[in-house]
Amino acid sequence: MGGERTDSRITAWRPAVPGIAEVFHAHFLDHAYPAHTHDTWTLMIVDDGSVDFGLDRHRHGVSGTDTAALLLPPGVFHDGRTATPAGFRKRVLYLDRSVLPENLTGTAVDRPVLIDGLLRHRIGQLHDALGDAGHAGAAGDAPDVFEGESRLAFVRERLNVHLAAARTRRPGREAARLAVALRELLDARVSEGIALHEASALLRSHPTHLIRCFKQTYGLPPHVYLTGLRIDRARRLLLAGGRPADVATEVGFYDQAHLNRHFRRHVGTTPARYAADPQGNPKGKGFPNG
């Protein structure tokens, strides 16, 4: 990467969410990419500064002050460079070709900069679900795969609105039936979980439509409901004397740090403190749930 200064910061990892080949976060103070291609779709938002890039003999710009997302199709040459003295910060998702059909390449080349505050917001939510540093060794940042799948489905839906003039489908009279069926699937597979695409196939419903039906019926997204089920199960196991590390994987969390993050949010304390008496001694089996 010629031109990169030593104080640039880069983080990259491959999450467990199907369809996402790589997550790439970078802060460049002075950097220029030579002309190159990717074998994936490149979806980028700029958080600070500005970047200038060329695509199909036309130059474009994206700024951190824009409500914009940049989408580059696979196989199309492009370059990029810092456009402001202070550099730029960006977050990028490299999406498998399966996420968007290749027949949308021409439209993406014609309009790579998508001015859409909702799309940008959803991309940010997806990055949050994937963790700020979700690669191995980042304690507490293990990705929530079901949430990641759900948020990717909404990002893909919004991209199709721009590229294919697709319309989003709103829940109708079938909403309650689909919501109940999805809830039964989640209840039956708390620990092992279920992939969103699998649930969608079983219930013969588009992923985003299925999520909308669930939220309309129960008031919260299915990934939030599943996390709540896991926390409830973890509380029972901790009060029965289970070790937090063992409980975490038993109820479906990635590791103890992953459990800790959600447990604090739901219960207001760590699993270890929750499972100790006022004197700090671990609770044994038979203690009631207070």
CA distance 130 to 234: 22
The number of domains in the chain is 3
Amino acid letter, residue 147: E
289 occurs within a structural domain: no
CATH number at 139 reads 2.60.120.10
Tens digit of each residue's pLDDT, the chain (290 residues): 344 445 678 899 999 899 999 999 999 887 777 888 899 999 999 998 888 888 887 888 888 877 999 999 999 988 877 777 778 889 999 999 999 998 999 999 999 999 999 999 999 999 999 974 344 333 334 458 899 999 999 999 999 999 987 777 888 889 999 999 999 999 999 999 999 999 999 999 999 999 999 999 999 999 999 999 999 999 999 999 999 999 999 999 988 999 999 999 999 999 999 988 555 555 544 433 33
pLDDT at 22: 96
22 occurs within a structural domain: yes
Query: Are 212 and 253 contained in the same domain?
Result: no
CA distance 87 to 28: 5
The sign of the CA dihedral 199, 201, 202, 204 is: positive
280 occurs within a structural domain: no
Phi, psi of 91, rounded to the nearest 5 degrees = -125, 130
Amino acid letter, residue 73: P
pLDDT at 282: 56
pLDDT at 278: 53
CA distance 159 to 69: 10
Query: Are 70 and 133 contained in the same domain?
Result: yes
Query: Are 16 and 80 contained in the same domain?
Result: yes
CB atoms within 10 A of CB 199: 24
Both ends of the chain: CA-CA distance in Å?
A: 57
Q: Which domain does 189 fall in, by range?
A: 175-219
Query: Are 85 and 180 contained in the same domain?
Result: no
pLDDT at 47: 92
Phi, psi of 247, rounded to the nearest 5 degrees = -60, -40
Instruction: Please give the distance of CA 121 from its chain centroid, rounded to a whole number.
Output: 12
Classified as helix, coil or strand, 158 is helix
Amino acid letter, residue 148: G
CATH number at 258 reads 1.10.10
Query: Are 156 and 185 contained in the same domain?
Result: no
How do 32-36 and 78-82 pair as beta strands? Answer: antiparallel
287 occurs within a structural domain: no
pLDDT at 181: 98
